[in-house]
Amino acid sequence: MRAFIPGLYGQNLRPGEVQRRSPTLTQEEQAIFYEKGMRPTLIDLLKSKGRDLPSTYGGEMWRAQPKNSRKLGFQSRPLTAIDSSRFGQLLRANLQRNGVPWHDGIVFLHQVRGVKFATGHEPDDEETAKDAINAFYYEFGIDGEKVDPDHTYFDIGLEVTSTDEQCLAFRTDSHYNFMVDILGISEAEALRLSSIGSSKYSRDLTSLLVEIAGCRIRDVGGPDLIRYLQLYLTDKGLTYLMDGGHTGKYVTAHDLLTKDMTTYLQGLYSTYCNAIESSSSNARAEVRVPLSQATSVFVGLDPELFRLYLISVSRSVWWYVAHPNLFLIFH
């Protein structure tokens, strides 16, 4: 959860500045926020379970600093759904009671993470899409009646699989057709957006094969007011891992030259050898749309169209094509 404090927008300016250089609170502001807002609020909500928090910001920072590390270890306090809904109101009230002038107007961004694949439905009609959205609300305790349909965005995914467990991938020349046929974009706009010179268009080549590629396109528009489109493969799931700014298993040249990477490389090799027997890649499309359009996108589709957009190859062939560098290492 993140807090936005409009009352601090024009404070602590340097001469000639019209706004703050950084959205981050100063140490003094963090101390005020903790001592006069956060801690009193947690005590109000948790009673005795909140009183073991250090009484000062300095005390909490001292507690959070490990002896031999720079990484701070902050504590967390779980709240019930009811307490979560009261948290913001109590925080603003405590800041006001303690004489903090920027209490008014504080708003919070509450991010629910790990929701990918939370709900799903067949691309039949809008009713099945509505059922999926309502199931999402129920799963994460969201009051759908309070959600603004024009300023709330959903990421909607469409996944195409092979009944023969073949590996699927998007043809590079399908990006234009996908926008026209599936998303209802005009031919002229789709041509402009999918042109190689468009600043809103990026291609993700598959192993440097220019005829096989996914894409990322911003500000697509169309009948469903699409803000973002992505076409990609699911093969990265075999090595997916958020690690030090990387989104997958990785090894550097320095590691290969200075460390024993035998176990790592054997694991990588085994993973892809096993994939030949049991893993296949699907083709996936994702769009970001306003909630008001979330039930109309990707419904009532003609499955036959995807025969024009995709290539289909066996797992063994795909492994040789998609991961040729492994053979340079081991042969």
Token pair in block for residue 225: 């007011």
Helices (H) and strands (E) in the chain, counts: 12, 11
Write the DSSP string, 275-295: HHHH--PPEEEEEEEEGGGTT
Same domain, 55 and 190: no
Tell me, yes or no, whether 329 lies in a domain.
no
Q: Are 317 and 175 in contact (CB under 8 A)?
A: no
Token pair in block for residue 182: 């599936």
Which positions ≥6 away from 172 have C-beta within 8 Å? 203, 205, 210, 211, 212, 213
Same domain, 131 and 103: no
Tell me, yes or no, whether 142 lies in a domain.
yes
pLDDT of residue 323 exceeding 70: no
Domain final position from 109, 144, 161: 109
pLDDT of residue 317: 62
Q: Specify the pTM.
A: 0.66
Same domain, 294 and 203: yes
Bridge pairing between strands 283-290 and 246-248: unpaired
Domain final position from 109, 135, 156: 109
Same domain, 132 and 184: yes
pLDDT in tens, 96-135: 999 998 988 898 876 666 676 677 777 777 888 888 888 8
Tell me, yes or no, whether 153 lies in a domain.
yes
Q: Which amino acid is at 27?
A: Q
Same domain, 303 and 201: yes
Same domain, 14 and 154: no
Q: Is 184 helix (H, G, I), strand (E, B) or coil?
A: coil
Ranked by mean pLDDT, which of 20-34, 178-192, 229-243 comes out on top? 178-192
Over residues 72-78, mean pLDDT: 80
pLDDT of residue 54: 85
pLDDT of residue 12: 60
- Residue 84 burial by Cβ neighbours in a 10 Å radius (0-12, 13-18, 19+): middle
Between CA 234 and CA 72 the distance in angstroms is 35
Same domain, 63 and 144: no
pLDDT of residue 14: 62
Which positions ≥6 away from 189 have C-beta within 8 Å? 179, 221, 222
Place of tokens 């893993």: 279
pLDDT of residue 330: 31
Tell me, yes or no, whether 66 lies in a domain.
yes
**What are the CA-CA distances from residue 227 to residues 60, 120, 289 (Å)?**
41, 21, 6
Write the DSSP string, 62-125: HHH--TT-SS---------HHHHHHHHHHHHHHHHHTT-GGGTT-EEE----S-TTSS---SS-
Instruction: Quote the crossing angle between the two packed helices 315-322 and 262-278, to the nearest 10°.
Output: 140
Same domain, 149 and 298: yes
pLDDT in tens, 293-313: 988 899 888 888 888 999 888
Same domain, 189 and 215: yes
pLDDT of residue 326: 40
Tell me, yes or no, whether 217 lies in a domain.
yes
pLDDT of residue 18 exceeding 70: no
The torsion defined by the Cα of 305, 307, 311 and 317, in degrees rounded to 10, comes to 150
Over residues 165-177, mean pLDDT: 91
Between CA 322 and CA 251 the distance in angstroms is 18
pLDDT of residue 324: 45
Average pLDDT of the residues of the chain: 83
Same domain, 69 and 180: no
Same domain, 67 and 154: no
Same domain, 92 and 138: no
pLDDT of residue 147 exceeding 90: no
- State how many domains the chain has: 2
pLDDT of residue 327: 38
Tell me, yes or no, whether 144 lies in a domain.
yes
User: Residue 159 sits in which domain range?
Assistant: 126-233+282-308
pLDDT of residue 328: 35
pLDDT of residue 316: 66
- Residue 145 burial by Cβ neighbours in a 10 Å radius (0-12, 13-18, 19+): exposed
pLDDT of residue 136 exceeding 90: no
pLDDT in tens, 176-231: 999 999 999 999 999 999 998 899 999 998 777 889 999 999 999 999 999 999 99
pLDDT of residue 268: 84
pLDDT of residue 38 exceeding 80: yes
Residue 294: CB atoms within 10 A of its CB come to 24
Over residues 37-41, mean pLDDT: 92
Tell me, yes or no, whether 216 lies in a domain.
yes
- Residue 265 burial by Cβ neighbours in a 10 Å radius (0-12, 13-18, 19+): middle
pLDDT of residue 226: 95
Between CA 21 and CA 18 the distance in angstroms is 9
Identify which has the larger pLDDT, 289 or 146: 289
Ranked by mean pLDDT, which of 54-58, 193-197, 238-242 comes out on top? 193-197
Tell me, yes or no, whether 87 lies in a domain.
yes
pLDDT of residue 329: 34
Query: Over pLDDT 90: what percentage of the chain?
Result: 30
pLDDT in tens, 249-301: 888 889 899 999 998 888 888 887 887 777 778 899 999 999 889 888 998 88
